[in-house]
C-alpha cells in the first residue's frame, strides 16, 4: 500500500510540474503549483511510513 501511494505521489509531482511548464493553458501554473505541493507532502508522508508495521 505504501509503495502504491508513493508511486502515485511521484506521478502526481511529475504531472504538476508538467502543468506548470505548460505554455498553452494559462491556469496550468496555478493548478500545477498546488498539485506539486500536495503530492510533495504526500511523498514526504509515505516516505516516513514504517515498512515493518503489520
pTM of the model: 0.81
pLDDT at 43: 93
Could you report the average pLDDT of every consecutive run of 10 residues in the chain (54 residues)? Answer: 89 95 91 96 88 62
User: Is there a contact between 54 and 20 (Cβ–Cβ < 8 Å)?
Assistant: no
- C-alpha to C-alpha distance for 45 and 6, rounded to whole angstroms: 9
pLDDT at 51: 67
Q: What are phi and psi of 12, to 5 degrees?
A: -65, -40
User: Is there a contact between 5 and 46 (Cβ–Cβ < 8 Å)?
Assistant: yes
Domain ranges across the chain: 2-47
Amino acid at each position: 500500500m505504501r509503495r502504491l501511494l508513493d508511486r502515485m505521489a511521484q506521478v502526481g509531482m511529475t504531472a504538476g510540474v508538467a502543468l506548470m511548464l505548460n505554455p498553452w493553458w494559462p491556469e496550468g501554473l496555478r493548478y500545477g503549483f498546488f498539485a506539486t505541493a500536495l503530492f510533495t507532502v504526500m511523498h514526504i508522508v509515505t516516505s516516513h511510513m514504517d515498512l515493518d508495521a503489520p
